[in-house]
Amino acid sequence: MNRSPVSAAPNVSLASYMSFAAFGIFWGTWGASIPGLRAQTGISDGQLGMALLFIGAGALPAMLLVGRVVDRLGVRLTAAAALTAQGVSGLVIAVGAMDFTTLCLGLLLVGAASGAADVAINAAAGAAEQAAARPVITRSHGMFSAFVVVSSLGTGLSATLGATVVFSFAVVGVASVLVALFLLLALPLQSPSGAAAGAGPGVREAGAELKDRDSNSAGATVAVLPVLLLGALGALAFAGENAHQSWSAVFFEDELRTGPGLSSTAPAVFATVVAITRFSVGAVRATQARGVLIIGAAGATLGAAILAIATTTSIAWIGLAVSAAGTAVLYPTLLGMLSRSTREEARGRATSLLATVSYLGFLLGPAYVGLWSEAAGLRGAMLAVAGLCAALLALTPVLLPIFQRLSASTSIPSSGNQEESIKRRP
């Protein structure tokens, strides 16, 4: 199938948006289905907390390893397979989780599938942004946040109408498979010469598959240190973001005495502001990335501090909204910086390393709040979250110049690949 660059570039952008929408549908449904799964398995809250750790146990190794698969098979096949596996894993756990043991095994599968999907669709977003020559990554993450809200509300509504957990995840599975099929049909194919038929160099690589990748990906290495620098910033960003997602409802209920009805909306409000912010700043130029990170970190710091000292719900909502707007831009901006400094044949492994290191912050953020809450109460814990964001604010102007110097010296193809690089230019 031949596609012109004009027709292929919109396809890769749309494929990225749809992939993140499917990812958001899964996690929105998952969050709203936890009470149903707890009732279905008959486990205690303590057992549920232990079981949820298996998501991270499955995700981390999958995230670290799938980058090589992306570089070998291309984002088209890898993202389609990973999204399908994630959709199927949700249905498996909905049908098969009947006790603590089967729930843990199911969550291990969910973690592995979602970790692989996370890396694959982020690598695809990076390739799409390069292909389309316009912002794609931040808007894709906005799609994720928006569909988390939509699917969580939809799942909650269907549950009140008597729908089962199996039904909810069957819908997720169908959505995941449909998006996977769209990826296979929409993303450009690889021609025998190694170029996507009729596509420009960026679009060609966005749909790249096995042919012409084996030699390139084998010879390309990932400069670990610059990726780790971005990963450290990403870990701080994710720690603050997930701290609010996991603890904001508890803060509203325990500290502001809002009751379970109003407090339960806090995570949804946070995600809604994140989505709106990501769509709003999606067109910000790459040259403004450093300023976006500094402003985002400052907003996250200020918002967490306002929330910590809030004595009324209105002030608390303001703090939560400011924090959400600040954290919303952080990881997508870091991912965009990595994407622009990474050679296509190493994109999967670079994205994999960044995602894995950043995900550690996502896992540890809620635990960090819990430990501080035990020692200093929830208000003290929110001040500690503000401290994390302040550390990000302080480290950003220090680490980014180092990253830029290191990536400038390592992203240039070696002399052996330079001639090939010149040949591929239009």
pLDDT in tens, 80-133: 999 999 999 999 999 999 999 999 999 999 999 999 999 999 999 998 888 877
Q: How confident is the model at residue 362 (pLDDT cuts 50, 70, 90)?
A: very high
Which residue shows structure tokens 């973001």? Answer: 241
If you write DSSP's letter for every residue of 264-295 in order, what string do you get? Answer: TTHHHHHHHHHHHHHHHSTT--GGGHHHHHHH
Residue with the bigger pLDDT between 81 and 157: it is: 81
Mean pLDDT of 228-254: 93
- In whole angstroms, how large is the CA radius of gyration of the chain? 21
Contact indicator for 259, 253 with CB cutoff of 8 Å? yes
Contact indicator for 63, 115 with CB cutoff of 8 Å? yes
Please give the mean pLDDT across all residues of the chain.
85
Distances (CA, A) of 202 to 103, 131, 206, 340, 418: 42, 4, 6, 12, 17
pLDDT at 108: 96
Half-sphere exposure of 77 (CA within 13 A, CB side): 15
pLDDT at 10: 63
Q: What are 165-168's contacts with CB under 8 Å, separation 24+?
A: 165/33, 165/36, 165/37, 165/40, 165/94, 166/91, 166/94, 166/95, 168/29, 168/32, 168/33, 168/94
Task: State the Cα–Cα distance between residues 130 and 142, nearest whole angstrom.
Answer: 18
Give Cα 60 distance to the centre of its chain: 13
Indicate the range of 12-16, 245-249, 367-371, 405-409 predicted with least confidence. 405-409
Task: State the Cα–Cα distance between residues 197 and 266, nearest whole angstrom.
Answer: 48
Q: How confident is the model at residue 334 (pLDDT cuts 50, 70, 90)?
A: very high
Task: State the Cα–Cα distance between residues 89 and 152, nearest whole angstrom.
Answer: 18
Instruction: With CA atoms as reference, report the closest residue to 69 among 106, 116, 108.
Output: 116
Task: State the Cα–Cα distance between residues 249 and 83, nearest whole angstrom.
Answer: 30
Indicate the range of 4-8, 46-50, 82-86, 121-125 predicted with least confidence. 4-8
If you write DSSP's letter for every residue of 105-160 in order, what string do you get? Answer: HHHHHHHHHHHHHHHHHHHHHHHHHHHHTS--HHHHHHHHHHHHHHHHHHHHHHHH
Give Cα 149 distance to the centre of its chain: 15
